[in-house]
Every structure is written in C-alpha cells, then in structure tokens.
A and B are shown apart, each in its own frame.
Chain A
Amino acid sequence: MTAPVVLRGVSYAYGEGELRRPVLREVDLTVEEGEIVLLTGPSGSGKTTLLTLIGALRAMQSGSAVVLGEELAGAQEAARVRLRRRIGFIFQAHNLLGFLTARQNVAMALELDGSLSERARQDRAGELLAAVGLADHTEKPPARLSGGQRQRVAVARALAAAPGLLLADEPTAALDKASGQEVVQLLRELAKSRGVPILLVTHDPRILDIADRVVAMEDGKIVCTTDTGETPAQVVMTKG
C-alpha cells in the first residue's frame, strides 16, 4: 500500500509572466501511515501552499502528488472535492459555523455521508465531542465556548468523517500556551489511536515535541528533516 502522501517534484508559482513568483521548487515529501509530520519554516517559504496542494484545495501546476491513493496532477474540481471529504482540516481560526451548536458543527462533517441517518450523525458527533472532552458543551454555539474549546470542536469536526489524513495550519496560533498544548496533545492522541497521519504547519516551537518528524522549508525547498520521537515502525510494533 502506498503512503498516504507521496509528493514528487512538486513546483508551484503565483502570478503570470514577469510577475511569476515561484513558491515551491521540486518538493519531494512522503508522509507515512500514522506519522505526524510538522512543517516549519519562515513566512513565505511555501509551506502553506504545500498544505493547500496536498489538501486538494488548489490545482496542481507541475509534479506529482498522490494523496490517499489519488493522483492530484490534472485532477478535476469534482475529483478534488471528493478527495477533500476524506481529509480532515484544522484551520488557524476555528472556522466553526456561528449559527450552529458544537454538535451541529461536528455533524456537518458527517452530512456528506449519505449512509448515515440524522440520529447516527448526532450520536457520532456527541461521541466525538466527548472524545475531545466537551461532552457537557455539545449544545452551545461557538460564541459561548472558549478559544481552546472551539479549537477542540474543530478537531472533533476534522476527525468526524474518519479521514485518512489530517491537515492542520497553525492550530495553536490563536491559543495560549496551556490550551495550545492541550489541543495538540489531543490531536496527537486521537490521530495515533486511529492511525491517521497528520501534516501540521506551525511556527510554534512549543509543540515541536509532538512530531515524529520535523520538516523545515525555506524558499520553496525542503532544507532539513529531523526525526524526533518514535518512528512509524515503532508505532506499529508497540500497538496492541
């Protein structure tokens, strides 16, 4: 089985003609099953663009990207929309729908699955919120939750549809140290327990320790890769 994310020679540029500004140059990156990869680097190094390409939010320009078994180069919009349903996203801002309760927000991720009944969606949303420690807050709108709680709802939403890959962009940027730590630890536990790989873009040095591997980018290139904790192989061996 191929790894969830396999990038080969991915390049990307914004603008046209003389204004053309390359942001990614020949990037190769592989994320293994169950692996947590942190993408760091200065602003403008292209890490966010890379994340949007992997998340099928942007059309590819050149190179090859196989995400969850789907080749993204030349993929149509409809194919990319289908792929997005198998990827969980966590944004810098929580981006919850303000007019929905926490439970309804999580259920939104499940409404794309036609095989679930309304009852099943509500139940599963409740279970996920309990899993992120918000069992008592399921019926509150985001406005009545704290920043950390909102981001935990966003984590529950990202995990709701049992994604094959989690993409997160600065999930702790808007949070204080304690709630930031809480959210990433939660993310790590939930992802590890389900074998979901995570690709996380961050500037935040406080959360580097959750990663299996830290990939640093600069000027659109991967400049250094550091294995930090356990390797994916160790994860599999120690399981069960």
Chain B
Amino acid sequence: MNHVTPLLPWAPELNGAAPAAAPARPAPAAGEAPAPRQAPPPVPPARRAPGFLAGTFLAIRLAWRQLRSEKARLASAVAGVMFACVLVFMQLGFRAALFDSATQLISAMRGDLFLMHPMTTASFRPEPLPRVRAHQALALPEVQAAVPIYLAQATWRNPADGSRRTIQLVGVDTEAGVLDFPGLAPLVDALKRADTVAFDARSRPEFGDVARLLAERGPFEAQVGNRMVQVVGLIEIGPSFGADGNLVLSETNFRRIVKERVVSAIDLVAIRLQPGAEIEATRARLAALLPADVIVLTQPELVAWERRYWEEATPIGFIFAFGSLMGLVVGMVIVYQILFSDIAGHLKEYATLKAMGYSNGYLRRVVLGAALILAGLGFVPGFVAATLLYDVVGAGTFLPLHMDAERALGVFAMIFAMCAAAGLLAMRKLRDASPADMF
C-alpha cells in the first residue's frame, strides 16, 4: 500500500514532502492558479469563498446549465413567460390606446384656453353652458377670439347598407381656426354651405366606406339623424371608446341636425389670446370675471380632465389593470411550477451541494438566477410578438396601438419582478433539501 502510485501528480510522495512537514498553503492571490505540484496540507486552511459577484456568476451559470439540460421544460417555461408578457403588453396597449383615442378630439382642438361647464364629465356627454360666456370672455383685451363649440351624438345611416350607428358631431365655426384636423383646411369653404359635413376617414368601417364613395361619386348624400346632409370631404380624427366616428360641421348645420338644441346652449368655448398675452394671468382674470357655471382650463388640463373621466369614472382603467395583473399571476404560477419541479426533481443534488459546503444563499441565487434567465428568455419573444400584434390589432380595431420604449421597459420590469417572485416562492422548497437526510 505504500507503493508510490503514479495517479496523483501532486501527491506528497512525489515531491518528497512528508505530509506532516508540508507547509501550510499560503493563501494565493486572487486569480493566481496554485502550483500544480504543491502538496496539499493534511488539514487545509479554510478557503477564501468566492466574492459575491463571482459566486453569483457561478450560481447563474449553474442555473443556466440546469435549465438547458431539459429542453422541453425550458420551452414551456419560456412560453409561459412569453404568454404573460404578451398579455400584459396587450392590456397596457389597449389601456393607453383608450386614453389616447378618448382624448384625440380634445387634443386636436387648438386654443390657448377653454371654457367648460364644471359638471361636464367627458366630451361625449357634455353639460351645456350659456353661449353668452363666449362673448363675456371677449371683454378682456387679451382675448383675441372666443369660439363656441357644439358637441352631440347623432345616428349616421351607413350609405352602403343602411344600418345606423351613433356618430360624434362637432359643430364649430370652421373658419375661426379653433379646430385643426388633417384635411380640414381645404374644406372650410365647402362646409359653409347648408347641410354639409366633413367625415372622419378613420372612423370604424361600420359607417360605410365613405372614402371610396367620395372618390367614386364626389360629394354625396347621407342621412344624419333625420336629415340628409352632403359629405363634402374627409378629415382625420380617429375613433374613441366614446364615439366610433366623427363628423365636423358648421354651427348652423349642427343646429339643423340637432334640432332640440337651444342656440344659447354650447358645450365648450375655445379662446385664442392676443400674441404675447400671459396664459396663466389671463386665466385668473377670466375665472374672476365669469360666473361659477364655467371653469377655465388650458388645453393640457382639458385633455387631463377627459382622461381622468376614463381612468376614474369608468371601470375601463381598472379592467385593463386587472387584466395585466392576471397575466402576471398566470405567468408567475407557470414559472413557479417549473422552478418548483426543478428543485423537487433535484432535491438530492441540492442536498449534496449543501453537504459540500454550498450555503443556502448560494442555492437561492441559483433559483433566482434561473427565474431571471426565464424572464429574459421569455421577454424577448414576447416583446416581438406584442409588437407584431400591435400592428395587426391596431389595424383591425383602429385603436392607436404603439410600442414605446417606456412601456417596453415597464413590462420588462414587471416580468422580471414576476419571475423573481416565482423564484422566491420556489426557494421555500429548498428547505426540503436537507443534507442530514442524505446518508
């Protein structure tokens, strides 16, 4: 048994160092490989553990090797994360599209200040204010123009098949330059004629293919409410959740269609100030001048008012938030299942690692590393799929669905948090990996 075996090149017998006389191994500097022929001391000193970063790298590499070894399981985990990712992207996309489209009409109105009845909840359901407020606003020298706007909904008869749908009417003095929609400028003169309207080319297709009819026949007759009007041109606004389509027409034509509307009851006043006038100061003076049945808003405030209605007064904001949350929960359950079964299937191996001196913290980093690898692997295809879906669904629903960097980062953070939470839950299973039960 004392024969020197050639198996161990660093065995003490080979370099003549008796085990007892072997010098304690000096702690090697980081990165320095120990001399291969150095004799290991009989009782090695406690080794320096790897630094946190190096240890984390090794833990994540172990996690990746484990994930990689079971391709089918990895694929189902990645598919689960991807599913959650797409779901959240779509929900957030719809939510943002709703708010964007709901305020599209308001955003298109050009004006320095707006007067609105304080009880107006949203533009499609306005509370009228007296038309005289528009004239009263002109009392201030800073006010260059004050233009009343009428808003109402009426039914539009589809010129192709005769079906009727509700459409948003915007009645305004089109010459005043308060409303600015793409395509409106060349129609200003045509809209002065009796019973003429400009149709929103981005309205939903259920209103009929007005653009094609217009191209084929030129201006043509269509029924709005109980009146025949002439469609003279196309503008672009876009549908919202409040209205599927829009018509822009002059004040007079508006009153011809909405007969029950009193002339003096208007819905909004757009105010243009003299060049160089202070918006905030003028607003304060207007608010002091006018009675309490109007509030004075800047355009961003008006947009925010409209948006707040959709966020707070309807369940829609909540619905999409809830949908996003459900997506995250489902994704978390899938990731948790995968991680849990990975741990449960490798309990002996994990316990062995513990017996070898790996700490609980290291094994937690392995599990967390696996979760975060899944987050990354699932997010990339999820992001690509959601971007494609935005285009397809946006084209189908006429909703403004766009991928932007802010949302992408937000969803990545959510997916990351989702996987981390799943990892933290799955870690509890590590407690079952007890090295004492190994023998």
Q: Do A and B come from one complex?
A: yes
A residues within 8 Å of B by Cβ? 1, 4, 33-34, 48, 51-52, 55, 57-58, 68-69, 78, 81-87, 89, 91-93, 95-100, 104, 108-109, 111-117, 119-120, 123, 127, 130-133, 157, 161-164, 169, 188-190, 192-196, 201, 230, 235-236, 238-240
Asked if B128 is at the interface of the complex by the 8 Å CB criterion, the answer is: no
Smallest beta-carbon distance B354→chain A, Å: 8
B322 an interface residue at 8 Å Cβ cutoff? Answer: no
A210 to chain B: closest residue by CB? B1
Given contacts A99-B65, A115-B27, whether A85 and B47 have CB atoms under 8 Å apart is yes
B348 interfacial by beta-carbon distance below 8 Å: yes
Interchain CB contact (< 8 A) of A97 among B50, B349, B354, B435 = B349
Q: Report the separation of the CA atoms of residues A112 and B62 in the bound assembly, to the nearest whole angstrom.
A: 13
Distance between Cα atoms of A1 and B29 in the complex (Å): 27
Contact B46 A89 (CB under 8 A): no
Beyond the given A161-B47, A162-B41, please list 10 additional residue pairs across the A-B interface where CB-CB is below 8 A: A52-B436, A86-B357, A96-B349, A109-B356, A112-B47, A115-B30, A115-B32, A123-B33, A193-B12, A194-B11
Most chain A C-beta atoms within 10 Å of own C-beta, residue among B1, B13, B28, B356? B356
Contacts of A96 in B (CB 8 A): 349
Considering the complex of A and B, which 4 residue pairs feature the smallest CB-CB distances, nearest first? A85-B357, A99-B69, A114-B50, A195-B19
Does A58 contact B436, Cβ atoms closer than 8 Å? Answer: yes
Residues in B50-104 with C-beta less than 8 Å from chain A: 50-51, 54-55, 58, 62, 65-66, 68-70
- Closest CB-CB distance, A210 to chain B, in whole Å? 9
- Chain B residues lying within 8 Å of A119, measured Cβ to Cβ, are 33
**Inter-subunit contact B19/A189 (CB<8 Å):** no
Q: Which residues of A contact B62 (CB under 8 A)?
A: 108
Q: Is the CB of A240 within 8 A of B16?
A: yes
B8 within 8 A of A: yes
Which of B7, B34, B43, B438 contacts A164 (CB under 8 A)? Answer: B43
B residues less than 8 Å from A33 (CB atoms): 19-20, 42
Complex Cα spacing A97 to B67, Å:
13
Cβ 8 A contact of A193, one of B5, B20, B31, B51 = B5
In the assembled complex, B18 has its CB within 8 A of some CB on chain A: yes
B66 and chain A: residue at smallest CB distance: A99
CB distance from B60 to the nearest CB of A (A): 12
* Smallest Cβ-Cβ distance to B61: which chain A residue: A111
B353 at the interface (CB under 8 A from A): yes
A92 to B352, CA, bound (A): 12
Number of contact residues on B: which range applies? 35 or more
Cross-chain contact of A51 among B16, B44, B348, B439 (Cβ < 8 A): B439
A113 touching B43, Cβ below 8 Å: no
Taking the closest CB of chain B, its distance from the CB of A1, in whole angstroms, is: 8
8 Å CB contact of A192 from B1, B65, B68, B353? B1
* Binary interface encoding of chain B residues 411-439 relative to chain A, with 1 for a CB under 8 A from any of its CBs, else 0: 00000000000000000000000011011
Distance from A165 Cβ to chain B, minimum over Cβ atoms (Å): 8
Binding site for A on B (CB under 8 A): 1-2, 4-5, 7-13, 16, 18-20, 27-34, 36, 40-44, 46-51, 54-55, 58, 62, 65-66, 68-70, 346, 348-349, 351-359, 435-436, 438-439
Given contacts A34-B19, A82-B357, A111-B50, contact A91 B349 (CB under 8 A): no
For B6, the closest partner residue in chain A by CB is A131
A98-B18 CB under 8 A given contacts A127-B9, A238-B2: no
- C-alpha spacing A83/B42, complex, angstroms: 15
Closest chain B residue to A112, Cβ basis: B357
A contact residues around B4 at 8 Å (CB): 193
- Interface contact B31-A117, CB-CB below 8 Å: yes
B7 near A189 with CB under 8 A, answer yes
User: What are 29 sample pairs from A and B whose C-beta atoms fall under 8 A apart?
Assistant: A4-B43, A34-B42, A55-B355, A57-B438, A68-B43, A82-B357, A84-B354, A86-B44, A86-B46, A89-B355, A95-B351, A96-B349, A97-B352, A99-B65, A104-B65, A108-B356, A111-B58, A112-B47, A112-B356, A112-B358, A115-B31, A116-B34, A123-B33, A157-B356, A162-B40, A194-B8, A194-B12, A194-B42, A195-B19
Q: Across the interface, which residues of B come within 8 angstroms of A230, CB to CB?
A: 1
B43 touches A117 (CB 8 A): no
Q: Which residues of B contact A188 (CB under 8 A)?
A: 1
**In the complex the two chains form, is A57's CB within 8 Å of B43's CB?**
no
B395 → A minimal CB distance (Å): 45
B65 touches A100 (CB 8 A): yes
A190 to B34, CA, bound (A): 20
B356 in complex: contacting residue of A89, A92, A104, CB < 8 Å: A89
Q: How far is the CA of A190 from the CA of B348 in the complex (A)?
A: 26
Q: Which residue of chain B lies nearest to A109 when distances are taken between CB atoms in the complex?
A: B356
Contacts of B50 in A (CB 8 A): 111-114
Residues of chain B within 8 A of A196, CB atoms compared: 42
Is the beta-carbon distance between B7 and A131 smaller than 8 angstroms? yes
State in angstroms the CA–CA spacing of A62 and B413 once bound together. Answer: 50
CA separation between A95 and B349, bound complex, in Å?
6
Alpha-carbon separation in the docked complex, A100 to B439 (Å): 22
Q: Are B356 and A48 in contact (CB under 8 A)?
A: no
CB of A91 within 8 A of CB of B439, answer yes
- Shortest distance between the CB of A17 and any CB in chain B (Å): 21
- When the two chains form their complex, are residues B16 and A190 in contact, meaning their CB atoms are under 8 A apart? no
> How far does the alpha carbon of A123 sit from the alpha carbon of B34 in the complex, in Å?
11
Question: Which residues of A have CB within 8 Å of B42?
Answer: 33-34, 164, 194-196
Report B-chain residues with C-beta under 8 Å of the C-beta of A127. 9-10, 36
**B18: A residues at CB distance < 8 A:** 236, 239-240
Chain B residues lying within 8 Å of A99, measured Cβ to Cβ, are: 65-66, 68-70
Q: Check B20–A236 contact: CB distance below 8 A.
A: yes
Contact between chains at A115 and B48 (CB < 8 Å)? yes
Distance A71 CA – B435 CA, assembled complex (angstroms): 20
Given the interface pairs A84-B357, A99-B65, A99-B68, the reply to whether A193 lies near B28 with Cβ below 8 Å is no
Bound-state CA distance A15–B47 (Å) is 36
Contact partners of A48 in chain B: CB under 8 A: 439
What A residues does B9 contact at CB under 8 A?
A: 127
